Amino acid sequence: RWSPDGAFLAALGRDRDFGANPAVFVVPAAGGTLQQLTPFVEDKNGLEWHPNGDRLTYHVRGSQGHTQQAFLDGRPPSTLFDAPDIWDGTGAWAPDGHRFFFIGDGTLYAYDETSGESVLVEDPDFTVKNPPRWSRDGKTMVWLRSKVSGTQSWMMEHALPTTATQFSMP
């Protein structure tokens, strides 16, 4: 993954014996030293940059799955959130840098970093296929969802209300 400013590349990688879980790595895009941000513990996926480029977010898979963050400044990784009532999964940051939209139990949720709350965004009768993506201006969000009848692309304009609790179901 490219950092928002294009200065770094980030990836999940394993050690040489491929027996360990992946770690988060970054390297300057212009070349330089590879920096390991997390240890080779816990199975990780869904690596995403925070919009300000100071950290990366990833999902720790397993029965106790949660969302972690790794920092470029050398701070140890920490839990961004753990939604114990929701089987939380991969996600993507909103352009505002305050909300992390994630797939939980196959449904789309938004975690608001300011309030610490997670709210339902998508109709739970559908299965969300991927984390949302935003238009260049950051005002429109798109995602895929499916039901027995097939897969659909959905779009929400003005997708970033001032608080997470102001979401209305599409």
pLDDT tens digits, residue range 59-111? 887 666 788 999 999 899 999 988 766 766 788 999 989 999 888 777 888 88
**Of 65, 69, 33, nearest to 51 (Cα)?**
69
pLDDT single digits (tens) 109-135: 888 999 988 888 877 777 887 788 888
Distances (CA, A) of 141 to 2, 68, 95: 20, 23, 10
> Of residues 28 and 117, which shows the higher confidence score?
28
User: In Å, how far from its chain's centre is CA 57?
Assistant: 6
pTM of this prediction?
0.82
% helix, strand, coil for the chain, step of 5: 0, 45, 50
pLDDT attached to residue 19: 65
Q: pLDDT band at residue 32, thresholds of 50, 70 and 90? A: very high
